[in-house]
């Protein structure tokens, strides 16, 4: 780590900060420091209120500069071959560079002061985000006690047209993806999966009161969705889902793509135990319980084959990103699948 830090002037900048008037204690460098504007990025120092310096240009002239992560909901394969056009579109829609400004956003000095005082809450109130976004920003995007009247008229004039722009210098928009498979492969020493995304049919036996299913399960879903049991099943059958991820239990599948009317809140009081291969609605997902488990989701049926197999490699045939459609099966078909060693791969090969 020290060899990397020594490749630039960041350590010299730590020394420079130590020489500034009014410093209290030490000039510190965090493990991620790198060369800044005057101070090192990742440098920390405190200065006396009476005799110390105030330097907004220490690390650069972008106060409260930070990083924001926006999730698209797209899979990497969906934008493969389209990156150039995506980057061109970002360049057109996000002004960048010194003196950049937006043609679609013109603010008065009074409105800029509202931005300075209310931060991200101003953006949400003007339709540039949702209330949920604020929950994922430190201090909900607004530092209490901010007083825009202490900002000079000249400073406000300089920044008047720059809201919603990228600026210049060490600022950028990056399109990326989390290479989770590669990281896991490195950790566990397994080769990275390279198979293309596949289409799967999942045989589902939808439970009913006649075979002992809890009436409360369906009544809760019907009440929230304002749909009947048959209408709910019909929507599930016609919807193309995607395996978003595994989690909670080994092999527990989160299927995304549900219509909004089937976004069912989880139970207030979880069921103490649900069976293996139970299919359930919870929030934005349809989940498949790979193992017996307590359940806070609303069970609607059962998968006719085992999602998780210990006698095959890989133990789970379906992979994140794969497309999924549900197929309704009756009790006789369910019994036939359960009494024969049918795998998910074999079912989809038939």
**What residue ranges do the domains of the chain occupy?**
2-47, 91-181, 194-349
The predicted pLDDT at position 61 comes to: 59
Report whether pLDDT(128) > 90: no
What is the SS3 assignment for 40-97? CEEEEEEECCCCCCCCCCCCCCCCCCCCCCCCCCCCHHHHCCCHHHHHHHHHHHCCCC
Q: Which residues have CB under 8 Å from 295's CB, separation 6+?
A: 267, 270, 271, 273, 274, 278, 280, 289
pTM of the shown model: 0.47
Rounded Cα–Cα distance for residues 98 and 178 (Å): 31
Residue 326: helix, strand or coil by DSSP? strand
The tens digit of pLDDT for each residue in 288-328 reads 998 888 888 999 999 999 888 777 777 888 888 999 999 99
Report whether pLDDT(28) > 80: yes
Q: Give the CATH class of 194-349.
A: mainly beta
Rounded Cα–Cα distance for residues 119 and 140 (Å): 9
The predicted pLDDT at position 210 comes to: 60
What phi, psi does 84 have (nearest 5°)? -60, -45
Q: Which residues are 278's β-sheet partners?
A: 302
């Amino acid at each position: 780590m020290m060899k990397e830090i020594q490749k630039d002037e960041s350590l010299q900048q730590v020394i420079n900060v130590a020489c500034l008037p009014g410093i209290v204690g030490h000039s510190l460098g965090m493990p991620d420091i790198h060369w800044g504007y005057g101070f090192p990025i990742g440098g920390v120092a405190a200065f006396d209120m009476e005799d110390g310096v105030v330097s907004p240009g220490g690390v650069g002239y972008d106060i409260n500069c930070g990083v924001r992560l926006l999730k698209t909901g797209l899979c990497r394969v969906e934008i493969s071959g389209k990156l150039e056009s995506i980057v061109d579109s970002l360049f057109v829609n996000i002004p960048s560079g010194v003196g950049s400004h937006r043609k679609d956003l013109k603010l008065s000095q009074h409105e800029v002061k509202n931005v300075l005082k209310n931060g991200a809450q101003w953006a949400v109130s003007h339709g540039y985000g949702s209330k949920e976004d604020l929950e994922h920003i430190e201090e909900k995007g607004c530092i209490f006690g901010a007083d825009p009247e202490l900002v000079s008229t000249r400073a406000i004039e300089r920044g008047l047209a720059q809201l919603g722009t990228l600026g210049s210098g060490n600022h950028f928009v990056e399109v990326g993806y989390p290479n989770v498979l590669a990281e896991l492969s490195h950790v566990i020493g397994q080769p990275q999966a390279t198979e293309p995304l596949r289409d799967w049919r999942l045989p589902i036996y939808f439970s009913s009161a006649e075979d002992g299913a809890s009436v409360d399960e369906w009544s809760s879903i019907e009440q929230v969705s304002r749909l009947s049991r048959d209408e709910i099943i019909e929507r599930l059958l016609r919807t193309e889902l995607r395996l978003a991820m595994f989690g909670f239990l080994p092999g527990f599948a989160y299927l995304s793509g549900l219509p909004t009317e089937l976004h069912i809140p989880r139970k207030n009081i979880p069921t103490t135990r649900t069976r293996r291969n139970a299919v359930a609605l919870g929030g934005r997902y349809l989940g498949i319980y790979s193992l017996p488990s307590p359940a806070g989701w609303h069970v609607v049926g059962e998968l006719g084959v085992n999602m998780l197999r210990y006698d095959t490699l890989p133990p789970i045939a379906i992979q994140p990103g794969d497309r999924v459609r549900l197929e309704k099966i009756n009790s006789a078909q369910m019994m036939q699948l359960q009494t024969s060693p049918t795998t998910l791969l074999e079912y989809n090969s038939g």
